[in-house]
């Protein structure tokens, strides 16, 4: 099923066609995270859809063709969405504004944690991202490990970091030539 159909069927046609600078790609679906087990806020078979050019994450239930939740507000041009547990997801916030002919990262990328139980946001590794100047304009991702540590991909800068749960760099891989 197309994302355009889902949005139109749920009365969100204005979200598609209000983005005049993105008429060639008004939605840009850049990540789909399937839900693999039931929880209090989502159930097995649901999908988290990251819609970059709308700065929106949708929790969609294909079984009933319903949008369960629209998550927006704390991020701009986000990328990667991951389920952390049955009450939280992480969102890789590219934090990008589109100018007339360019895109700019406001300060740095961010890892936004959305808490379903409180309908609120928090940030993870905020100081680390600032210090390391993690600022990829597109792409980027974070994969959390069971112990709270994470692998972070700073795509456009050609870097990968392994951070412990406190945000300290354990190792860094740099793929850019000097």
Whether 150 contacts 167, CB under 8 Å: no
21-55 tens-digit pLDDT: 545 777 889 999 999 999 999 999 999 999 998 89
Nearest to 145 by CA among 59, 78, 82, 87: 82
How far is 126 from 111, CA to CA, in rounded Å? 7
Q: Could you tell me which residues are beta bridge partners of residue 70? A: 58
Q: 55-84: per-residue pLDDT in tens? A: 999 999 999 999 999 999 889 999 999 999
């Amino acid at each position: 099923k197309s994302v355009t159909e889902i949005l139109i069927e749920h009365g969100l046609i204005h979200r598609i066609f209000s983005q005049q600078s993105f008429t060639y790609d008004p939605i840009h679906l850049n990540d789909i995270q399937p839900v693999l087990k039931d929880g209090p806020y989502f159930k097995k078979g649901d999908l988290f859809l990251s819609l970059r050019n709308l700065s929106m994450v949708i929790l969609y239930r294909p079984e009933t063709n319903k949008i369960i939740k629209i998550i927006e507000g704390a991020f701009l041009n986000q990328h990667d969405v991951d389920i952390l547990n049955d009450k939280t997801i992480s969102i890789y916030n590219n934090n990008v504004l589109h100018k007339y002919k360019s895109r700019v990262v406001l300060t740095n990328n961010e890892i936004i944690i959305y808490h379903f139980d409180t309908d609120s946001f928090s940030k993870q590794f905020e100081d680390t991202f600032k210090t390391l100047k993690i600022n990829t304009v597109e792409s980027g991702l974070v994969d959390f490990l069971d112990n709270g540590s994470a692998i972070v991909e700073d795509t456009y800068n050609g870097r990968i970091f392994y951070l412990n749960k406190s945000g300290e760099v354990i190792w860094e891989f740099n793929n850019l030539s000097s």
